Amino acid sequence: MNNGETSTSMVKKYRPLAVAAGIGSILGSGISVGLSATITVWQNGLGLTNSQVGIISGALTFAIAIGSLLAGQITKSFGLVKSFNWLNLIYAIGALICVFSNNYIMLLIGVIITGLASGADLPISLTVVSHDAPDDKTSASLVSSTQIFWQIGVFMSYVCAFIVSKMAGASGARIVFSILAIFALITWAWRTFSTKFRAFHEEGEQRRIDREAASQTTEKVSIKTVFAGANKGRFMAFFFSILIFYVCWNLLANTFGQFQTFTLVQAHASQSFATGAGIVLNFISLLATMAFASVAGGKYRNKFFLVGITVQFLAMLGLAMSSHSLWPIVITIGCYNIGNNIAGEAMYKVWTQEAFPVEVRASVQGFINGFSRVCCGLFALITPALVVPSAIRNTMFGFAAIVFISFVAGLTMMRLEKKHGINNF
C-alpha cells in the first residue's frame, strides 16, 4: 500500500469524527443565519421593538465571540474531550429556550446561551479532530472538510427560513430553532456515547504522550510556555500571520454578506431574483469549499490558496470598475464566492491546527475567532455608510486593499511553515 492509499484510508477511518465535529459547524452557521433569517418573524410574533431586535442580534454576535475566547479556559477546566461531548447539550438547551420563549427576555437568554456554546464548540471541535488524527496530512484533510458543513448550515438555514416564512406569528421561527435543537441533541448523544470516538480519543492522547516522551519534554505546554518560551519568536510569527489573515478575510466576508443582496437590488434585480441568486451563490461556495478540502492535505494546497486569493482581489476590482449592469455584477460576485472559499476560513483552520501544540490550539483559535468577531461587530457599525450607491466604488477598492493585506499575511504563513518544516508543500 502506498502513502496515498494509506492517507486515504486514514481519512476514511476518521471521517465520522470529522462529521461529528462538522455538525457543530452546521449548528454554528445555523444559529447565525437562522436568527438573521427569522428575526422579523420573532419581532412580529413576540411584538418586539426595533431596539430589542438590534440587542438580540448584537447579543448573539458577542456571545459567540465570548464563547470563542473562553474555549481554552473551558477545555482547561473540564478537559478537551468532555467539553467536545457536552457543549452541544448546552446549545440544545439554549435553542429550546428560544423555541418556548414568549417574551423578549426569554428569547434573549436563549440566544445568549446558544451563542456561547456555539462559539466555544468550533475551536474545541477542530482541536479534537487534530488531536485524534494519526498524522498531519489526515488532520489537514479532516479539519478543512468541516468548513463544508458550515456552508451546509448556511444553506439549510436559508431554505428552512424560506419554507416557514408564511406561517403565522413566531411559529416558523420556533420550527427553525427546534430543528437546530434536534441536531444539537443528536450530535451530543453521538459524540458522548460513541465507542469508536472514545477509542479515537484514547489513541490520540497516547500518541501525544509518546511524542512528549520522545522529545524529552518535562515542562507542561501552556500559552505561557508557547508564547514566552524558547520558540516564542516562531509562534508569535505564526500567530500574527494567521490573525491578520483571518481578520482581513472575515471583515470582507462578513461585510460582503450583508450587502450582497443590496448590491444586486441596486443593479435593478428584483428581490426574488436577488434572494434566489443568493442561494445559487451559496451553492457555488459549497462546491469551492469541497474543492479545497480535497487538496488540503496535499501538495496543491498552496497553489489553490494563491489562485483563490487572486480571484478575490480581481473580483473586488471588477466590482469597483463595473457598470451597474446586473449580469456582470452577478458573475463577479460568483467569482468572489469561489475565491473566498478556496482561500478563506478552511485554510485558516488548517494553519491554526498545524502551527501550534495541541494543548493550546483551542485557546489560540478561540482567541482569533473571538477577536475577529468583535472586529466584525464594530466594523458593522459603519457598514451602512459603506454600501450606499455613492460609496460602493471606493468601498470595493478598499476591500481590494484588504484582500492584498490578507494575501501578504497568508504568503508569510506559507513561508514560515516551509521554514520550520511543518509540511513539504
Average pLDDT, the chain: 87
Residue 2 has pLDDT above 80, yes or no: no
- 134 Cβ partners below 8 Å, 6+ apart? 10, 14, 203, 207
What is the spatial distance between Cα 405 and Cα 140, in angstroms, rounded to a whole number?
24
pLDDT of residue 275: 61
Residues 151 and 337: beta-carbon distance below 8 Å: no
Query: Is residue 161 scored above 80 in pLDDT?
Result: no
Q: How many residues does the chain have?
A: 425
**142 within 8 A of 11, measured Cβ to Cβ:** yes
* 17-21, 238-242, 316-320: range with lowest mean pLDDT: 316-320
Position 425 pLDDT exceeds 80: no
Checking if the pLDDT of 210 tops 80, the result is yes
Q: Exposure string (b/e) for 234-257, b if CB count within 10 Å is 16 or more?
A: ebebbbebbbbbbbbbbbbbbbbb
Rounded to an integer, the average pLDDT of 158-167 is 73
Check residue 211 and give its pLDDT: 80
Banded pLDDT at 218 (limits 50, 70, 90):
low
H or E stretch covering 319: helix 301-321
Q: Which of the four pLDDT bands, split at 50, 70 and 90, describes residue 193? A: very high
Each residue of 279-304: pLDDT tens digit? Answer: 788 888 888 988 888 888 788 899 99
Region 184-212: what's the mean pLDDT? Answer: 93
How does residue 328 score in pLDDT terms, banded at 50, 70 and 90? confident
pTM of the predicted structure, to 2 decimals: 0.82
Q: Of 3-7, 85-89, 218-222, 223-227, which gets the smallest average pLDDT?
A: 3-7
Instruction: Determine the Cα–Cα distance for residues 323 and 282; give it in Å rounded to an integer.
Output: 24
- The whole-number average pLDDT for the span 308-319 is 93
Per DSSP, helices labelled H in 194-300 are 195-214, 223-228, 232-266, 271-295
pLDDT of residue 5: 47
